[in-house]
Structure 1
Amino acid sequence: MSRIQLALNVDDIEQAVRFYSTLFRAEPAKRKPGYANFAIAEPPLKLVLIENPGQGGSVNHLGIEVETSEQVHAEIARLSEAGLFTEEQIATTCCFATQDKVWVTAPGQERWEVYTVLADSETFGTAPADTAEPCCGTADEAAAEGACCGSAAKQDAVGSGAACCG
């Protein structure tokens, strides 16, 4: 079985384990002081949490693609019922696609999206004007496009030489 591994720095391992256990409906496969390792079956993912105070949240954002809008809405309901704050973006254009998505923020401030692609788009897209949240994309795409999701974020990233979507 192949799966992606993500190793994240977290400020508080206990708080992070509670969040990820709720998000993925799974408990860690391995726990050590300052360390937790999740072997997630669906979606296939190896998630490693390393307690590193002051370095938490060093990821731009992470995502889970699902097949339908109904699945996105089911996640909105499930995550809200679990007490996690959700931010919905319905029929938003992002990363050359129209998407339905929901965002949640983990204790270390890393952003997760659950999304489905509704249609292709000819434009990269922007996040809604009233939010500074990122859309999707890879660091390579951001560097190649010189693009960010919102115009203010794009100006900030271009001005600082940083890529906002990586």
Structure 2
Amino acid sequence: MKHTLSVLVEDEAGVLSRISGLFARRGFNIESLAVGPAEQVGISRITMVVPGDDRAIEQVTKQLYKLINVLKVQDITEVPCVERELMLMKVNATSSNRSEILELVNIFRARVVDVAEDSLTIEVVGDPGKMVAIVQVLNRFGIREIARTGKIALIRESGVNTEYLKLLEARV
């Protein structure tokens, strides 16, 4: 199972290297990693997606707390969250298929950020599932390049689980 960890750390040189080293020493892979300033000056939030069972994640969490500069570790996998990723995608686009690609881009609420004679560069923001879906849809045109950020996530203060709401909508 994939777990999403939210880690608050002091914003100092070497923190990320110590955390990635901890994962490497224990043979854990980090599938997604995003780091940026948090709400407080001098604090950064690291959001990472890590495969593993509950026991392994619990052990990694304990090890993270032993590192200097780690302030808080949360496994937010089962908690209602707002999750987003950013992806830039360069797609082959000829004059004959450009309008079809633009329609698909609009359906996904994505944006064209660069136009060339034979390609379009598209910006997509959304949950990880949206990223997979648009890649599948545009793959038939030929994808030249993809650059993706790691997943970022914040706990929903409302406590509303949108995945649960989607299931209810599907039944109605």
> TM-score, normalization: structure 2?
0.30
More helix per residue:
2
Higher radius of gyration, 1 or 2? 2
> TM-score, normalization: structure 1?
0.31
